[in-house]
A and B are shown apart, each in its own frame.
Chain A
Amino acid sequence: MKAWMGKLKAFMLFSFLTILLAGCGKENLTALDPKGYGAESSMDIILLTTIVMLGVFFVVMIIYTIVLMRFRRKKGDTTIPKQVEGNKTLETVWTVIPIILVFIMGIPTVIYTFDLADTSEASGSINIDVTGKQYWWNFEYQGEEVVTSQDLYIPTGEKVYLNMLSSDVIHSFWVPTISGKMDVNPENVNTMYIEAYEEGVYWGKCAELCGPSHSLMDFKVIAVSPEEYEQWISDMQNVDPEAVPSDAVAQEGQELFQNNCMGCHAIGSAPVGMGPNLTNFGDRTHFVGYLEPTKENLVDWIMDPESVKPGNLMTGTYDVSEEEADKIADYLMQLKPSEITPESAGGLKD
């Protein structure tokens, strides 16, 4: 039994070390390495509360260890310990100190809470209407006539205001490295701001159970320099939705797309539709939110959406052959309206 326990302890120590070596998660997904205003604010409070709480834990464990070392019953010991009712001083101490600790943690928490909820400067800043849908995201840039889905482009170093509304069930908008989350409710617009400090591509996740494909509702935030952002906006504004691709196969794909897909999917600026806006589809880092951007994956998705994203609303709304799907994929993958892409922003880091 003893030796076995020793092995267990060694195993636990080993696993703990491995975890430490694995670091704090993947860059641009983890909340532990903040690169934005919201995430940094959260990290301040996380660190403050963790340190205070570890202090309390430390005190508890010291008393606990002393008790276990000093007051274990020896074999055959039948002495009756003194029956102590309590101790006023001690009890006052461990009531008053925690109250002080609550204030130490509470006051900064309240200040930060009001700071993160302050949207008074929203007018005059960049405002983006975010729509959550099963299982994708739509981003409409107010006053710019620019719409994207799945990829949200923002300039670094300034607060970008997101006005979020769901058109079906509750979702939650979370880009851990840049900002904490906020729910996307169907009945009221929630406004939050995000600010990215560094250029890069950041993972976004849906954080409120929204159906079978909840775990596949990923999106990206692409933070670029303010100049590049202006460039991207004007590139997107200049998109000609009818533009005929140079490649012959892609041309056929465009025709098939217009016949089968346009009912739900828009190219160019359009109000939020049944399906994602595909204006800059060819620039995306992932298809369907999480698949590597290969043609094979895209054709698989078009042919059998249910197996790729269970419960999605695209399944069964059209009828194309594999050959046709191939051509549509060719068309979609050449939709690259701008030089400013996730790649140019540094791409996803491994």
Chain B
Amino acid sequence: MSTATQKRSFSAALWDYLTTVDHKKVGILYMAFGAFFFILGGLEALIIRIQLVKPENDFISAGFYNEMITMHGTTMIFFAAMPILIGLMNYIMPLQIGARDVAFPFLNGLGVWLFIMGGLLMNVSWFTGGAPDAGWTNYAPLSLQSPGHGINYYVMGLQLSGAGTLMSGINFIVTIVLMRGPGMTYMRMPLFSWTTLVASILILFAFPAFTIALFLMQFDRMFGSAFFDIALGGNSIIWQHLFWIFGHPEVYILILPAFGIFSEIFPTFSKKRLFGYTAMVFATFLIAFLGFMVWAHHMFTVGLGPVANAIFAIGTMAIAVPTGIKIFNWLLTMWGGSVAITTPMLYALGFIPSFTIGGMTGVMLGATVADFQYHDTYFVIAHFHYVIVGGVVFGILAAMHYWWPLMFNRVLNDKLGKLEFWLFFIGFHLTFFIQHFLGLMGMPRRYWVFLENQGLDLGNAISTVGAFFMAAGVIVFLYNVVYSYVKGEAAPQDPWDGRTLEWTVPTPVPFYNFKQLPLTRGLDPLWIEKMEGDGKMKPAEPLADIHMPNNSILPFLISSGFTLASFGFIYQLDGPVGRILIYIGMAFAIGCMIIRSLKDDHGYNVTKEELEKEGA
């Protein structure tokens, strides 16, 4: 089974990826489709900015504009940012903690295909009479009133991919709790693995709220129930609560892994251990805990009353404390260090001021009375793009440059990387900084047009120019990927003088990761060996057979069955075809699940002899 070095045909590679349960390949699937949706969401953003380049523009129609903003938000959050991060967790976390795979490889395969099909399903709506158009927050009753099938696609698409995300969350928790390698105690885990654990816990508690909200929405739209229908005694505010009980932790599901990424990059390129490691871990937990306590700050203007508003205001401001701890710890990690400015480090350095601004405006938004002015304006748009782009996207791009040599056996060109950074960084601030002021000058969000002679022209034009700078940055990155693949040389095993276990495996990474599991002697295990030993990890076990799971097409088939049934649900009110599709799809999916349950699959062993043949 030493498949890694064999030359294979395209169809064999395709089959390999369709059936894979290897955490690294699943990770790459997550990242590849995440990148596809990122580009899609980026194009949607450009269309939005072109529409707003001048007052009363008619580049696209009002209804289409609402579809555009809805799909931009949904795609970027659910199908781009989160999957790319989950992909990174998949690839990197097991290597960092010294594991050969995640705890449930089959579930991992199922998760990725549910995400991919959910994302694709939702985008099918463009071609079948209109995408969802009630905003990514999908507030009732607007979402109930929305004609056509757009919102049905929203419900089913997110339900599918949400199930996949929940599986990943559970999988990562179990992996980290049970499968840490020899000597890898909790307090020796790299911060990225820590934030993976905490983000997974957030997924576990936050996603069910959204799942329920989506089910209620599905019942209301497809089965005639009235959870959110006021005329029949329902209550539309309940949707807002359920959405934000999920939606606010979701922000931390995105930002915590990005914090983890930067916590790897700062020490590596400063040649200095992370300052205040223990405080960093506890700050992560505190942010996650408080993240569940603040959802109603998205609802200050709903009319919940001063008591609720005051409590949620103070809770929101309190999150600034652990976040501040992190910022200062990163700065002090560099203090006294030997700071090398490579592309990943450049992103980390760009992240600090950008994210600090996002955090500042976050505290400002938390002040209820001030929020009455900010709420639902471009100020909020500016704030969450400073957090999501300045934090999460910077983190993702930094991680790509940082771990690219490990994942794809190439070092991305540093000069191109820096050009990409500056285009993206300048474009980002051009686009979003001015939007703080646009909001306060009276421009609400989700406005298809703004009127002439309201003092909003210049700011919007600048914002649109910035968006194109960002697009240019992304194009340079894509060019860099192709360039390094064609022109680049094979990456060395440890190109950045790394500190953690993922830099101890050979590239390309063998499918079993570690021939012999390494012995971790402390925080930054590789660095310890470099300083106190010969720079090589000591094996914690003798060379022996390695047990590996078999590939399976079932995850793909189960996901396909659910997708088919989803189409059925979307169209079930339109006639018997939809209802028949539901039965076929569900029967197919459940059939595959029964096969999976009844068929014994013990995996296979990579024998000691094979391992010896593979060389050092």
Contact = CB atoms under 8 A, between A and B. Distances in A.
A60 B328 CA distance: 7
Interface stretch (A46-54, A230-238, A243-251, A253-261): A46-54
B426 A32 contact: no
A86 B283 CA distance: 14
A106 B313 contact: yes
A345 interface: no
Contact of B321 (A61, A90, A99, A168): A99
Given A49-B364, A49-B367, A109-B369, A102 B314 contact: yes
Main SS class of interface, B: helix
Contacts of A168: 141, 145
B273 A85 contact: yes
Contacts of A183: 301-303
A42 B369 contact: yes
Contacts of B377: 207
Given A30-B442, A290-B451, A181 B376 contact: yes
Given A57-B357, A112-B369, A80 B142 contact: no
Contact of B332 (A18, A56, A90): A90
Contact of A170 (B139, B321, B531): B139
A77 B511 CA distance: 37
Interface string B360-383: 110110011111110111000000
Q: Which of B235, B451, B455 has the most CB of A within 10 A?
A: B451
A63 B310 CA distance: 33
A180 B357 CA distance: 23
Counting contact residues on chain B (CB < 8 A from A), the size range is: 35 or more
A176 B337 CA distance: 49
A218 B454 CA distance: 12
Given A105-B363, A113-B368, A290-B451, A56 B338 contact: no
A73 B340 contact: yes
Contact of B444 (A53, A98, A174): A174
Nearest to B334: A67
Nearest to A79: B338
A15 to B, nearest CB: 6
A194 to B, nearest CB: 11
B275 interface: yes
B353 A113 contact: no
Contacts of A113: 306, 309-310, 313, 368-369
Given A60-B331, A94-B324, A176 B336 contact: no
A53 B357 CA distance: 9
B339 to A, nearest CB: 5
A209 interface: yes
A225 interface: no
B303 A26 contact: no
Nearest to A170: B139
B372 A180 contact: yes
A95 interface: yes
Interface stretch (B34-42, B456-464, B481-489): B456-464
Contacts of B185: none
Contacts of A218: 451
A212 interface: yes
A64 B352 contact: yes
B142 to A, nearest CB: 4
Interface stretch (A125-133, A185-193, A293-301): A185-193
A6 interface: no
Interface string A152-177: 00000000000000001110101011
Nearest to B442: A29
Interface stretch (B61-69, B112-120, B213-221): B61-69
Interface string A44-84: 11101110011011001101101110011100010111111
Interface of B: 61-63, 65-66, 134-135, 139, 141-142, 145, 230, 235-237, 270-273, 275-279, 301-303, 305-306, 309-310, 313-314, 317-318, 320-321, 324-325, 327-329, 331-332, 334-341, 349, 352-353, 356-357, 360-361, 363-364, 367-373, 375-377, 422, 426, 429-430, 434, 437, 440-442, 444-451, 453-456, 458-459, 462, 531
30 contacts: A19-B462, A24-B441, A25-B454, A26-B455, A46-B364, A46-B367, A46-B370, A71-B338, A73-B271, A84-B275, A90-B328, A98-B321, A99-B321, A109-B314, A110-B313, A113-B313, A169-B141, A169-B142, A181-B372, A181-B376, A185-B302, A185-B303, A186-B230, A212-B62, A212-B66, A214-B446, A215-B444, A216-B449, A218-B451, A310-B62
Nearest 8 pairs between A and B by C-beta? A180-B372, A25-B441, A212-B62, A215-B447, A26-B455, A117-B306, A53-B360, A190-B303
